[in-house]
Chains A and B, each alone.
Chain A
Amino acid sequence: MSGHHIISLKYLLGAATALVVLTIITVGASFIEIPRPFDLIVALSLAFGKATVVAAIFMGLIWDKKINTMALLFSLLFFIIMIGITLLDTLYRDVPFWIYS
C-alpha cells in the first residue's frame, strides 16, 4: 500500500514518546563522562535512532513506495562520499594558518 495510508494514533503517539525518551537519554549521556571519541559515537547513534523514527513513522516511509526510502538513502550515500573525499584532503595537510587570523 502507498498513497493514502492513514497512520494510526498508536504509531504517531508512540513515535513522539520514543523521540522524547531518546532526547532525554541524549542529554543524560552528555552529562556522563564518556571518553572521546565514544561520547560522539553515542550522541550520533542516538541521533540516527531518532532520525530513523522520524523518517519511518512521521514521514511514513514504512508504508510508502520503497523508491522514497531509496531517495533518502541515496542522499545519505552521496553525503558520505562528500565527507569522505573532503577528509581525504583536509586530514592529510597542515591546518591552514588563515583560519586563525
Chain B
Amino acid sequence: MANQNATHGESHVAHHFVDSEQQLDSSKLGMWLFLVTEVLFFGGLFVAYIVYRAWNPELFYMSAKELSTTLGAINTVVLIGSSLTIALAVRAAQLNQRALLSRYLIVTILLACVFLVIKYFEYTSKFAVGILPGEFYTYEGIDHPGAPIFFSIYYMMTGLHGLHVIIGIGLMVYLVVKARAGTYTAAYYTPVEVTALYWHLVDLIWIFLFPLLYLIE
C-alpha cells in the first residue's frame, strides 16, 4: 500500500511511481535490460572469435604469444579494483557519506585511466611492428596465411571494450560533479547505482577477454 503523504515528501519520486523503492527497482531493471543488449552486442564479436578460432586453432595459439600476459593480468587486477571502488562508492551514497562518494568515484576514474594507459602502451608496441587490423597488417613474425585474423578480432574486441571504458569515465566524471553539488543522498542515488552496474559489466567482459586473447598458449 502506498503511503501518499510519505511519497509527496520525496521530490525525486516521479508521479507514476508508488514510492522511492519502486522507482529504484524500475531503474535497475531498465539498466539490466540495457546490459542484456550489451551482452548480445559483445556476443556478436565473441561468436566471430569462436568461428575463426574453430577454423584456425593453430593461428590463435601462435598469435596470442605476441600479447603480454603480464600487462593483461595487471589490467585485470586494475579493473577488479575499480569494480570494488565503485561498489564502495554506491555504499557511500547509501550511507549518506558524500565526501567519500566522490573520493571513491575519483579513484575509480583513476583506475580506469590506468587501464587505458596500459592499453595505449600495448597498442603502440603492436603498431610499431606492423601489427595493425585487417589490410594494414604488415608483421611477418607469425608464419600462418591467416595471420591478420587474430589481431583484427583482438582490435575489434579490445577496442569496443576500451570505448566502453572511455564512456564509463565520462559517466563517472558527471557523477563526481553531481555528487559534489550534493545531488545524491541515501534516499536518491539511482545514477550512481546504474553507472556502477554498467561499470561492473565492463569488468565482466574483460574477465572473458583476458583468458581468451592473452592466455592461449
Contact = CB atoms under 8 A, between A and B. Distances in A.
A30 B84 CA distance: 25
Interface of A: 2-4, 6-7, 9, 12-13, 15-16, 19-20, 23, 26-27, 30-31, 36, 39-40, 43-44, 46-47, 50-51, 54-55, 58-59, 64-65, 67-68, 71-72, 74-76, 78-79, 82-83, 86-87, 90-91, 95, 99-100
Chain B residues touching A, range: 35 or more
B61 to A, nearest CB: 9
Contact of A3 (B21, B35, B47): B21
Given A43-B215, A59-B200, A99-B146, A79 B87 contact: no
Interface string B188-217: 000000001100110110011011100111
Nearest to A64: B28
Nearest to B83: A58
Contacts of B32: 68, 71-72
Contacts, number: 139
A95 B39 CA distance: 27
Interface of B: 20-22, 24-25, 28-29, 32-33, 35-36, 39-40, 43-44, 46-47, 50-52, 54-57, 69, 73, 76-77, 80-81, 83-84, 87-88, 90-91, 94-95, 145-146, 149, 186, 196-197, 200-201, 203-204, 207-208, 210-212, 215-217
